[in-house]
């Protein structure tokens, strides 16, 4: 297994739309293992392949405290969502140190393939629904800060570029 480098906003590669996985093979299973290890190390609760510069529709999520609840979503799609919307404070491994409120549907119905290439569906609400939507946004080339006001987006971009310059000098 390997830790993968996580892209940081405003890297333009974060806005690239991921392609569907054609075959769930050993390469994809290795990617899933590497992504899970990277997510746990970060630490985070979700990671999309786009964030590690792999533009295929693969997501890993684990909301458990003990890392026992890994959910693998290959080619995930939202089949339906609730009319009820809820606001949650979101953060992102690609936008370190930034947290802000985003309004999303409070529940979703999801279809995906597991790491064996088998299709499955599930209903998600609460934090899992937020996480699924957040990670699918990444696969579609969208970062959560794009839900925020233009002023906040500009501030976040400025801060990220400044941080990038400082770490390049270090």
Residues marked active site are found at 135
For residues 34 and 2, the answer to whether their CB atoms sit within 8 Å is: yes
* Best CA proximity match to 54, nearest among 80, 68, 74: 74
| Residue 8 among known ligand-binding residues | no
Of 27, 20, 130, give the one whose Cα is nearest residue 75. Answer: 20
Q: Is 92 known as a binding-site position? A: yes
List the beta bridge partners of residue 120: 112
Q: Is 15 annotated as a binding residue?
A: no
Count Cβ atoms below 10 Å from residue 77 Cβ, excluding itself: 14
Q: Strand 71-81 and strand 85-92: pairing?
A: unpaired
Beta strands in the chain (DSSP E): 46-48, 58-61, 71-81, 85-92, 95-105, 107-113, 119-125
Binding-site residue positions: 92, 134, 138
Q: Which residues are annotated binding-site positions for Fe cation?
A: 92, 134, 138
């Amino acid at each position: 297994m390997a830790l993968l480098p996580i892209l940081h906003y405003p890297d333009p590669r974060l806005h690239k739309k991921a392609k569907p996985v054609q075959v769930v093979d050993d390469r994809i299973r290795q990617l899933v293992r590497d992504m899970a290890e990277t997510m746990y190390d970060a630490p985070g609760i979700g990671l999309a392949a786009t964030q590690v510069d792999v533009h295929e529709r693969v997501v890993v999520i684990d909301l458990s405290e003990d890392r026992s609840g890994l959910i693998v979503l290959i080619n995930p799609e939202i089949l339906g969502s609730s009319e009820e919307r809820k606001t949650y404070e979101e953060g992102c491994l690609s936008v370190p140190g930034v947290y802000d409120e985003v309004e999303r549907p409070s529940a979703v119905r999801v279809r995906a393939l597991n790491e064996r290439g088998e299709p499955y569906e599930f209903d998600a609400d609460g934090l899992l629904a937020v996480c699924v939507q957040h990670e699918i946004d990444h696969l579609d080339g969208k970062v959560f800060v794009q839900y925020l006001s233009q002023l906040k987006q500009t501030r976040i971009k400025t801060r990220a570029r400044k941080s990038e310059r400082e770490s390049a000098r270090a």
